[in-house]
Structures are given as C-alpha cells and as structure tokens.
C-alpha cells in the first residue's frame, strides 16, 4: 500500500467514523442538553408553583370563594335577591312589594364570562328615616346591587299615626353577576398571587351582609364547584 | 576502503521509513483521540440522559403534588378572574353610594322626591315636590351648606312651580365634588 493510498484510506475511515458515530452522538447530546435545560426550567417553575400553592391557606381561600359567590355570583342571583330584599325590608320594618323583574333564562349562559347585570324594580313603604337606612343597607347587601333610580312619594296614613310621614319608595336596582372563567388553572400555568389592591377588595367582601336563602333539602347536582372528581379504576 | 554506492538510496529509504513511522503514529494517535471523543460524547450523553430521567420523575412527582392542590389552584384562578370585574364595580358602587347618601342628606323631611338621576357627565338631576315654601327654602339652604360625604359644587334650579295648595314642584341640577 502506497503512502498516498494509506492517507486516502485514513481520511475515508475518519470521515465514515465522524459521519456514522460522532455526528449522531453529538446531535443526540445537543438534544439531550436542550431537553435538560427545558426540564430544569419546568421543574423550577413547578417547584415555585407548588410552594405558592402550599402557602395558600385552604380555609381562607374557601371562605373567600364562598363570600365572592354570595356577593358577586356566577349565575343570575334571583333567589338570593328576593331573600335579601324581603328580609332587609322586614328588618327595617318596611313593607315590601311591587317587585318586577324579567330574569330570562335561569340557566348559566354557555361561553359567556362577561359582566352581566339584572335590573328590577320594587317598592318599599315606611317612614322616611327607615327608608333612608334601608337604601344605605341595600348597597352593602349581597348580592352586589346598585341603586339606579329612586322615586319617593309621601303616603301618610292618617288612620294609624297622623304625625308620621309614610313614604313609598319605588327603587330601580341592578344586580351584577359574572360566569366563572372558561378554563380553570392548568398544571403548567403559574399561579398568580393576589396583589395588595386585590387583597383589599377581598376584605371589602366581608362588609357585605348575606341573608339566608331558602334552599331545597334534596341533593342537587355538584355541591362543590372545585372538587376534583375521583378517577375510576 | 569502503565505497558508499547506495548512500543516496539508503538515505531516501530511511527518510521514507521515518515518514511512514510518523504517519503510523499520527494514525494511531488519531484513532485513540477519535475513540476518546466517541467515548466522552457517549458518556456525556448517558449522563445527561440519566439526569433528564431524574428530572422527569421529579417533574411527575411535582405534577402529582400540584394536582392534589388543584382545588386551591382553581379557586385562586376563579378569584383572580372575578376580582378584575369586581374591582371596577366596587369603585362605581362606592361613588354611587356616596352620591345617594349625599342626596338623602340634602332633602329635608316631607320632601316628595320624584327621582334622581346621575347623567354620564356626573350631573345629578333631582326632581320632586315639597308641601310648603318653607321646606323648599330649607332644601336650598341645605344645598349651600357643606354636605357629606360629597359636597355640592354647583346647583342650578331648572324649574319651580307653585301650586294653588302651596306645594312647590322643583327640578334641580346638581354637580357634586367627586
């Protein structure tokens, strides 16, 4: 074998070795390194997420969700509204009636997570001071309501107490509700902690009074919206 | 006497042998180097692969732990989404409540209020009636006094009607300092 043939042979062996062994190994190593980088990042993110979740107080978040659902419900708050208004009026020794509302569909609108309002009118009767107190209490009562307009009429009842000014107030109120988010938290998405401002808003929820609604005694569907269903074997 | 007839030839052969030996050495060292490179890359590959497996099992374990906390996570997502709209509502709610409280503090007992309306520009249109001029005068005095929680920046009498039985119907426009 001549020197030239030997060199050519060696170059060929080198090229074949590089192509068949070194290159695939190097490509695989590069891919593995990239995968490791991704996995390290993912593990760090998940660890951080788990740490955040462990730091959230279960009882507190449960209480906040319940309060939020009472004050700013996910579905049209027909029953809580009627319960709150009638009980609040009774508490202020006012007559309550003339309620007119057009709730429309009672089921939750699919795919809608925008803010919705439900307007309705009602009448309360009693003395001026009690009506004024009722109005103040109304806006701090769950579900969240906003007085749109008030119309007061003097309606003195001379048979019972000629001295007291009997007033009838026609009130137009809007109640608000918003469907829950379409997608709840997925494993890879980070958990956003509440800001100080949002914590302040949640603390304001406590200031809202809730009145008990009359509930059916039988089991009605899923009781806990966030409960994870057990997997079937 | 020695005659070196093949001196040049022998020199050439020795040089060729030296070159051949050098080439053989290069080939051997090259093969060793190449083998080492392959071994190192393969070893690194195995090592990284093993690390990836460990990381992957760690991730699976973390995912399981997070899944166990999915209720809290969903609740947190729910609160975050609701708070965005709730924050805006509370702001207008507080302002509206302050306006309603101010109006109620302004109107004297005995006033029959037909209604009050807050326009988009923040002007409050207040219409109603009082049984006597004295009460209307008190209402006007109240408008000039500092009220709470908001104060009246500007008040305009749009219309006053006096009826035969002494009742005063009024239509006022108020601008509150917000």
Structure tokens at B90: 């509370």
Chain A environment of B19 (Cβ under 8 Å): 3
**Which two tokens mark B31?**
């093969």
**B41: Cβ contacts below 8 Å, ≥ 6 apart:** A22, A25, A26, A29
Task: Return the bridge partners of B154, or none.
Answer: B175
Reference A228, options B62, B73, B57, B78; nearest CA is: B73
Q: Is A19 helix (H, G, I), strand (E, B) or coil?
A: helix
- Quote the pLDDT of residue A162: 47
pLDDT profile of chain A (233 residues), mean per 10? 77 84 90 95 93 89 89 86 87 84 58 73 85 83 82 60 67 85 74 84 85 61 59 51
Contact B173/B123 with Cβ under 8 angstroms?
yes
| 8 Å CB contact between B124 and B131 | no
* Chain B residue with the nearest C-alpha to that of A200: B87
Q: Who's near B15: CB < 8 A, 6+ residues apart? A: none
ipTM of this model?
0.73
Q: For residue A73, what is the DSSP state? A: -
Q: What is the pLDDT of residue B56?
A: 95
The CATH H-level superfamily of B87-177 is General secretion pathway protein M, EpsM (3.30.1360.100)
CA dist A174 to A72, A148, B114, Å? 12, 7, 19
- Return d(Cα B119, Cα A43) in angstroms, integer: 54
Domain ranges of chain B: 87-177
Instruction: Extract the residue ranges of chain B whose pLDDT is less than 50.
Output: none
Give the pLDDT of residue B59: 95
Token reading at B32: 């060793």
Cis peptide before A46 (omega within 30 of 0): no
How many Cβ atoms sit within 10 Å of the Cβ of residue A14?
15
**What confidence score (pLDDT) does residue B70 get?**
86
Alpha-carbon span A117 to A123, nearest angstrom: 20
Which residues make Cβ contacts (< 8 Å) with residue B47, sequence separation at least 6? none
Mutation target among A26, A184, A223, A230 for the B interface, most CBs of B within 10 A: A184
Closest Cα in chain B, distance from residue A87 (Å): 21
Sign of the CA dihedral running A73, B103, B125, A156: positive
Strand ranges, E, within A61-114:
95-101
Find the CB nearest A150 among B45, B110, B116.
B116
List for chain A the helix, strand, coil content (%; round to 5): 45, 20, 35
- Residues A172 and A119: beta-carbon distance below 8 Å: yes
Nearest to B80 among A115, A153, A192 (CB): A192
> Hey, what domains does chain A have and what are their CATH numbers?
62-182+192-205 (3.30.70.60)
Q: Do A147 and B90 touch (CB under 8 A)?
A: no
pLDDT score at A185: 62
Distances (CA, A) of A36 to A22, A27, A188, B38: 21, 14, 17, 21
CA distance A217 to A141: 25
Give the Cβ contact number of residue A33 at 10 Å.
Answer: 15
Q: Quote the tokens at residue A133.
A: 């107190």
Q: Which of B76, B96, B148 to mutate to test the interface with A (most CBs of A within 10 A)?
A: B76
Q: Answer yes or no: are the C-beta atoms of B124 and B167 closer than 8 Å.
A: no
Among the partner residues A36, A65, A68, nearest to B51 by beta-carbon distance: A36
Interchain CB distance below 8 Å, B76 and A56: yes
Q: How many Cα atoms sit within 13 Å of B131 on the Cβ side?
A: 8
* SS3 assignment for B39-78: HHHHHHHHHHHHHHHHHHHHHHHHHHHHHHCHHHHHHHHH
Sign, CA torsion B4/B10/B12/B15: negative
Q: With both helix axes pointing from N to C terminus, report the angle between B70-106 and B133-144 in degrees, rounded to the nearest 10.
A: 120
Q: What is the pLDDT of residue A102?
A: 67
Neighbours of A180 (CB within 10 A): 19
């Amino acid at each position: 074998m001549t020197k030239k043939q030997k060199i050519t042979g060696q170059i060929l062996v080198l090229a074949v070795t590089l192509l068949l062994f070194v290159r695939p190994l190097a490509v695989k190593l590069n891919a593995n390194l990239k995968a490791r980088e991704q996995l390290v990042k993912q593990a760090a993110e998940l660890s951080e997420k788990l740490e955040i979740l462990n730091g959230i107080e279960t009882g507190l978040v449960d209480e906040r969700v319940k309060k939020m659902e009472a004050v700013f419900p996910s579905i049209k708050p027909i029953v809580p509204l009627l319960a709150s208004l009638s009980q609040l009026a009774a508490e202020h020794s006012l007559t309550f009636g003339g309620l007119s509302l057009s709730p429309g569909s009672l089921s939750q609108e699919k795919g809608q997570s925008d803010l919705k309002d439900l307007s309705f009118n009602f009448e309360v009767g009693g003395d001026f001071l009690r009506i004024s107190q009722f109005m103040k209490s109304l806006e701090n009562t769950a579900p969240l309501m906003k007085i749109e307009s008030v119309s007061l009429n003097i309606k003195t009842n001379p048979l019972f107490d000629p001295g007291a000014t009997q007033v009838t107030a026609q009130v137009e109120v809007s109640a608000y509700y918003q469907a829950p988010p379409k997608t709840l938290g997925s494993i890879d998405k980070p958990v956003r902690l509440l800001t100080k401002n949002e914590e302040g808003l949640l603390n304001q929820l406590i200031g809202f009074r809730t009145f008990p609604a009359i509930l059916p005694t039988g089991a009605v569907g899923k009781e806990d919206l966030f409960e994870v269903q057990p997997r079937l074997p | 006497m020695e005659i070196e007839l093949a001196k040049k030839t022998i020199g050439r052969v020795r040089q060729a042998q030296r070159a051949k030996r050098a080439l053989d050495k290069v080939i051997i060292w090259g093969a060793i180097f190449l083998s080492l490179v392959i071994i190192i890359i393969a070893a690194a590959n195995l090592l990284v692969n093993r690390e990836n497996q460990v990381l992957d099992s760690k991730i699976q374990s973390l995912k399981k732990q997070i899944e166990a906390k999915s209720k809290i996570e969903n609740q947190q997502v729910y609160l975050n989404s609701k708070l965005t709209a709730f924050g805006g509502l509370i702001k207008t709610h507080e302002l509206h409540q302050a306006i309603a409280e101010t109006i109620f503090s302004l109107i004297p007992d005995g006033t029959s209020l037909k209604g009050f309306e807050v326009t988009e520009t923040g002007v409050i249109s207040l219409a109603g009636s009082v049984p006597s001029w004295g009460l209307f005068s008190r209402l006007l005095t109240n408008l000039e006094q500092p009220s709470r929680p908001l104060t009246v920046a500007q008040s305009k009498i749009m219309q006053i009607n006096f009826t035969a039985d002494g009742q005063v119907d009024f239509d006022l426009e108020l601008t509150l300092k917000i």
